[in-house]
Chain A
Amino acid sequence: MRYYVQRVALAILLLLAVSMLTFGALNILGDPLFNILGPVAGDVNNPDSIKMIALAKKEFNLDRALPVRYFIWLSHFVRGDFGVTFSSTGQPPVSGVISERLPRTISLVFLAQMFAILVSIPWAIIAAARAGKISDRISTINAFFLVAMPNFAIAVILKFVFSLKLGWTPITYVADDPLHSRLFQLLLPSLTIGLPVASVYQRLLRTDLITTLQQDFILLARTKGLSKTRILFVHALRPSLFSFITVVGLNTGALIGGSIVAETVFRIPGIGSTLVESIFRNDFPVVLAIVMIVASAFVVINLLVDFAYTLIDPRVRR
């Protein structure tokens, strides 16, 4: 129990640190007043501008000290109020933008993760069963090639081959389409993100499987006359999954980064592409909200991975 409390406390501490860093960076390195008003913010000689500056400062609490602003923002943020977008009307509210677009990114990351796991496990098992043989070497080289291919390059290649030349997959994402066609539209983007990650998983799991296969209980299973498939899938896989699970959790960060790229290339209105657009539009509240949501999700996922770890191997708790 004490272990869990400690982990949760650390996660909360991390979230606070992350939020201070993000809020601080955007406020100190960036210029929120300029983001709200545009060029008017620098025009301090015109009485009209001065009035607007004073009004905006009041409305967005910019006349308060930075720590005060941080606590005001934080108290709103934890209640799900992310402020207003810096468009001329302030509509829609940031929480509206997020709740519309976040599900697309979540399903994209989820599909990519599923794809990577489903591909890498059999791939690693086959490679480990034939460790050192030609087929294993070829698959290792393949994994090497995939890891060296940046995800934006994979996105461009997949789009070129499957959307433009073969015409098998649609080029754009249509938010109003029925579920099955939207899932189909997410196929190439999730491949983009999942392929390099799958090869990372494969390399790791293959090494761990080879280590496991040298242990005595595998020898025992073989002398019992169990089939090779049964040994590989039932006996060897589970004890080899420890570092695999950690890496799956840690790679969620890479998947989120990948989704920014994939959403931009395949024009999916998720939070990744919204982050990029909002930065170019200087839409500070949206940027702040997205970075915070993404970082929080990452912290929470890593916490859950730690907990999953204790379920598989109770020794960790001590």
Chain B
Amino acid sequence: MSTTSVTPAPEDAIVRKKLGFGFWLCVIWVGLMAFIAIFAPVLPLKSPTANFINSAQGRPPYAPSWSHWFGTDKDARDVFSRSLYGARISLTVGFTAITAGFLIGGSLGVISGYYKGWIDRISSFGFIVLLSFPSLVLAILLTSLIDRNLLTVSLVLGLLSIAPVGRLARAATLQYADREFVLAARQIGATNRRIIIKEILPNVAIPMSSLALLGMAVAVVAEGGLAFLGFSVQKGITWGGLIQLGSDASKTLQDAPWIAFFPILMLFLTVLSLNFAGDRLRTFFDVKETTL
């Protein structure tokens, strides 16, 4: 070891981890969806609520064609623009939910991992209680009791993510709470608040943030499931709601599968991208795996 430390290893001997082409492809797709979600009303899209009845073609639904790329539904509404508008609620709910979950669950987890003792006991018990419900059952129970709008649905899904996020943050904090640099900071008289913010948080936040994309994928799927069963945002277009509309009657699904299948495709690609990008980020930030 003593001889090798004199000559620094050549640049190419260090195994550099790359995020890879697939990662960027996924980021582009999610970015595109986010762009569409934000700017849908000003983009040159057909109105998602207008009825494009074409007497020459007979009764709707119309199959995919040049004028309606993804076809139309039973009310002759354009499935392409509805699928794009569906990104708005699904992504907003997914994003808000995981942000709320990380803020609340993350801080609870860090605090209980740092202070330990009774704070830790109480919050850990709270996490187990939340995890004792199958998540979809708890989501249905809560959304059925409230006025379902964008904020409340997001908060319910955020509540569901508190426990898993909190447990991870707690475990990550426990790893650092007794390390030398934390002890050193305490020795020179740093307050607990300062230690948490300056010493613990930077170490916990980076590996946790790579889980945010995976968490968002879970939240988007959960929102889709709620919408499919009729428990998501009451007004507006969501992917889950579109899929439900295209599949609730067997005849609709058999005769006009495009109504359900294009929203499924959009949802699938988005969840796949979030999962894949999240998974790459997780391995990228996983220090244990790096070859030093």
Contact = CB atoms under 8 A, between A and B. Distances in A.
A and B from one assembly? yes
B276 A279 contact: no
A220 interface: no
B140 A275 contact: yes
Contacts of B173: none
B142 interface: yes
A148 B129 contact: no
Interface string A63-94: 00000000000000000000000000000000
A144 B272 contact: yes
B155 interface: no
B264 interface: yes
Interface residues of A, number: 49
B132 A295 contact: yes
A152 B221 CA distance: 9
A150 interface: yes
B145 A30 contact: yes
B224 A25 contact: no
A192 interface: no
A29 B272 CA distance: 36
A150 B225 contact: yes
Classify the interface of chain A: helix, strand, loop or mixed.
helix
A299 B136 CA distance: 15
A269 interface: no
Contacts of A9: none
A18 B276 CA distance: 35
B261 to A, nearest CB: 8
B260 interface: yes
A124 interface: no
B134 interface: yes
A38 B225 CA distance: 28
A298 B134 contact: yes
B69 interface: no
Nearest to A13: B125
Interface stretch (A48-56, A209-217, A235-243, A255-263): A255-263
A299 B229 contact: no
B42 interface: no
Interface in B141-177: 141-142, 144-146
A291 B138 CA distance: 8
Given A160-B257, A295-B132, A299-B132, A25 B225 contact: no
A152 B142 contact: no
Contacts of B24: none
B268 A295 contact: no
Contacts of B253: 156, 159-160, 164
B275 to A, nearest CB: 5
19 contacts: A13-B125, A17-B132, A18-B132, A26-B145, A29-B145, A29-B146, A159-B250, A159-B253, A160-B253, A253-B133, A257-B135, A257-B136, A257-B137, A260-B229, A275-B140, A276-B230, A279-B231, A294-B133, A298-B132
Given A157-B264, A163-B250, A253-B135, 6 more contacts: A25-B145, A26-B145, A147-B275, A153-B264, A159-B247, A160-B247
